[in-house]
Amino acid sequence: MSAPNARAILVLRHFDGLSNSDCAAALGIEPKAASIRHVRALERLQKTLETMSCFCEDGRQAT
């Protein structure tokens, strides 16, 4: 999945507050594809954050 696709689904779901069905319609894809994209984008974000030393494993920001 490309970074723009990952970014788009995360923005729509978490910042714009759209449902999975609404995200799918906005992106012109099936709801199942939107769900898969969302899960993969969250996994990608988690891996990225884990590589940053300023974030702890349990999600707290390191001081």
- Determine the distance from the C-alpha atom of residue 54 to the mean position of all C-alpha atoms in its chain, rounded to a whole number: 20
With contact defined as beta carbons under 8 Å apart, do 60 and 52 qualify? no
What's the pTM value of the predicted model, to 2 decimals? 0.77
> Among the residues of the chain, which ranges form H helices?
3-10, 20-27, 31-50
Going by the DSSP 8-state scheme, the letter that residue 55 receives in this structure is B
Question: Residues 7-30: pLDDT tens digits?
Answer: 999 999 999 999 999 999 999 999
Residue 50 is predicted with a pLDDT of 83
